[in-house]
Amino acid sequence: MTTKDYLQRIVFEEIDSRCVYVRLENVVAEVLAKDDYPAAVAELLAQSLLVAAALSSGVKFQGRVSLQLQTSGVLKLLVADCTHEGGLRGIAKLKEGAACPPSLDALWAELDQAGMLTLTLEPSDGGQRWQGIVPLEGRGLVEAIEAYFRRSEQLDTRLALAFGNGAGAALMVQQMPASGSTDVDEDGWDRLGHLMATLGSAEMLKISGSELLERLFHQERRRVFPATPLRFDCPCSRERVLDLLGSLGAAELASLFQIQEVVEVRCQFCNQAYEFAQDDLGSLIDPSQPGGSQTVH
C-alpha cells in the first residue's frame, strides 16, 4: 500500500473476532492545518480521527460514523467522523479565552470530570440513525472507547493508539457476536489480548501495517481484506448550505440582509466559504416568488 493513509481489516473466524489497523498522516496534517490547535488538543483530535476510521470498518455498515466528545471545560466540543468509503474530517472547539492544559493527560483529567462520549451511526441507505451517549471513563481515549463497548455494546474491545511527528496509528481487536460454530477457539480471545499487550507506540509508528499485523498474528489463522485508502473529505456543498439557510425561515433570512448585502457561511470542517446575495436565495426570502411554496421552515 503506497498511500500514507489507509485501513486494513482482518477477521479471525475461529475466534469470532476482528482486527482493524489504521494509519493516518496526510489526513491528520490537513485537519490540524484548519486551526491553530494547542498540542494536547491536536493529539486528541488525531487520536479521535484514528478511532473514527477504525469504527467505520463494520462488515455490514455503510454510512458515516461520528465520534464526539463534549465537555464544560476548555474543550467544548471535538468531532471526528469517517464514512465507509474512507472519507474523514474532524474539528475541535475551545472555550474562548480559556488556557489549555499543557499535556494530553492533563487535558483528559479535566474532560473526565464531566465529559460525555457520543458515537453516532448515520446509514447512507436511509436507514435509522443510531446514537449512543455515555459519560467519559478511564485515563484516556483508549480506555474510554473500551469502556463504551464493554458497557453499551457488550463487545470486548482492545484498542491501541500512537501519535507522533504528525503520523498516527491505531490497532483495534474486537469480539464479534458468536457464530455458533463448534470450531471456535475458546482461548483465542485471551491470546489476542496478550499479543496486543506487547505492542508499543514506537513500534506502531515505525513499521508498516502489514509488517505489524504479520509480527503480531503470524501464528493465527486469519482472513485478510484488501486495504482501503483513507482521505480527508468534507461533504459540504453550496446546495447543502442553501438547505441550511432555508431552515432558518424567510423572516430571519430577510433580517440578515438588512444588516449586510452578502451572507457568508463558512464550513467549520474545511473552511470553505459560501457567499449568497439576496437574489441567490429568491423564494427562501420571498414566498411569493416562483417556488415559494418550497421554502423550508
In this structure, the answer to whether residues 216 and 265 fall within a common structural domain is no
In this structure, the answer to whether residues 123 and 162 fall within a common structural domain is yes
Q: Average pLDDT in the 227-255 region?
A: 79
Residue 171 binned pLDDT confidence (cut-offs 50, 70, 90): very high
- Region of poorest pLDDT, from 155-159, 174-178, 253-257, 289-293: 289-293
pLDDT single digits (tens) 25-48:
999 999 999 899 999 999 999 999
With respect to residue 106, please indicate whether it lies within any of the assigned structural domains.
yes
> Closest Cα to residue 137, out of 155, 117, 152?
117
In this structure, the answer to whether residues 276 and 163 fall within a common structural domain is no
Inform me whether the pLDDT recorded for 9 exceeds 80.
yes
In this structure, the answer to whether residues 250 and 112 fall within a common structural domain is no
Contact 111, 69 (CB under 8 A): yes
Q: Percentage of the chain surpassing pLDDT 90?
A: 51
With respect to residue 137, please indicate whether it lies within any of the assigned structural domains.
yes
pLDDT single digits (tens) 50-85:
999 999 987 577 889 999 999 888 899 999 999 999
With respect to residue 1, please indicate whether it lies within any of the assigned structural domains.
no
In this structure, the answer to whether residues 125 and 184 fall within a common structural domain is yes
- Bridge-based pairing of strands 87-94 and 231-232 is parallel
In this structure, the answer to whether residues 159 and 25 fall within a common structural domain is yes
In this structure, the answer to whether residues 159 and 245 fall within a common structural domain is no
Count how many domains the chain has: 2
Half-sphere exposure of 72 (CA within 13 A, CB side): 3
Cβ-count burial 48-80 (b if 16+ within 10 Å, e if not): bbbbbbbbbbeeeeebbbbbbbbbebbbeebbb
In this structure, the answer to whether residues 227 and 247 fall within a common structural domain is no
**CA distances (Å), 162 to each of 25, 46, 187, 191, in order?**
12, 9, 27, 22
pLDDT single digits (tens) 135-160:
988 889 999 999 999 888 778 999 99
In this structure, the answer to whether residues 113 and 148 fall within a common structural domain is yes
Measured distance CA(209)–CA(160) in Å, rounded: 13
**Nearby residues of 268 by Cβ (< 8 Å), 6 or more positions away:** 91
In this structure, the answer to whether residues 16 and 71 fall within a common structural domain is yes
Range of the domain at 283: 238-294
